[in-house]
Amino acid sequence: MKTTDFAQHISFFLSRHLPNQKGASKNTINSYRDTFVLFLHFAEQTKKIPRNRLTIKMMTREMVIEFLDWLQNTRKSSNVTRNTRLAAIHSFFDYLQYENLENIYECQRIKAIKYKRKENKSINYLSIDGIKLLLKQPDITTSKGKRDLALLSLMYDSGVRVQEVIDLTPSAINIQKQSTIRVVGKGNKARLIPLLNAQVKNLVSYLIELGLNKPQAGEYPLFNNGRNEMLTRAGVSFILKKYAIMARNENPVLIPETISPHSLRHSKAMHLLQAGVPLIYIRDILGHVSVQTTEIYARIDTKHKFEIMQNIYVDIVPNEECPKWQNNDILTWLKSF
């Protein structure tokens, strides 16, 4: 079958340019791949262009904008998801303008499409009591319960992203006097995160239970599903929400209605901040590129700010027992004001 120039360029872009020239992580490449899978679906459904007929010439600025609108209007994508898809398209046409000079003008028009402002959503996190209640729920007399406790407690204690915990292998865990876990995050950047003793006990018990402490198991997925396959994002979400429902039934005040794996990461960040840990250390634990990203936790922690203000408050404002007008007729006071 004859291939189009789009098929040729997108194949080279994903398989060679991103990993070799840009050093993009596997997760980034998969995200970009998904963007163009959606674009092909859009072209077939709305433009009636078969996937094996789509060419670079057809991909105009107007078509890309229609695709972005389709994501939000038909698929109900958020501004964040729209921007993620647009970032993939920008990257592709940035590459393409050097590979296909005759189409450079349209490439630049597409690269000029602006991102939408992110919605200002409140960060969802649990209190320390809420985390304790959540982690009480798994039945640790079973193998699955041990896995779930090890998974959820590790996600909270280390503040890792859901994909980071999915990608972990037993070899990433270093059990010593000061135990650590090696996490590979965005942009293939690795970081070491210290593990607390209680977390190490959970992990060691889990590793022994499943035989993951043996040398030959070093590169196996750390957390598997019932089919001995690596957990997925949906699988991690399912596990968390199952125990969240159980904990909410026990105490609905401590467990928010909306909860996701990222809520555990947010919770860890907030608790570190409330414990007085400097933002720069929280940044390194979470794997943020800039401390500006971490500052969002400082901005939203109103309760913590209120407690600080109370602790340093000095009574310097005179406090009258009652306004002067209360000792007189209000009309008389108004006239004399």
Residues carrying an active site annotation? 161, 186, 262, 265, 288, 297
| CA–CA dist 280, 237 (Å, integer) | 29
In the numeric block, which tokens belong to residue 303?
Answer: 């309760």
Torsion of CA 43, 80, 118, 21, to 10 degrees: -90
| CA–CA dist 204, 213 (Å, integer) | 8
132-156 b/e (C-beta count within 10 Å ≥ 16 → b): ebbbebbebeeeeebbbbbbbbbbb
In the numeric block, which tokens belong to residue 251?
Answer: 């105490």
CA-wise closest residue to 33 among 48, 18, 20: 18
| CA–CA dist 234, 284 (Å, integer) | 27
In this structure, are residues 154 and 167 in contact, taking their beta carbons and an 8 Å threshold?
Answer: no
| CA–CA dist 190, 175 (Å, integer) | 18
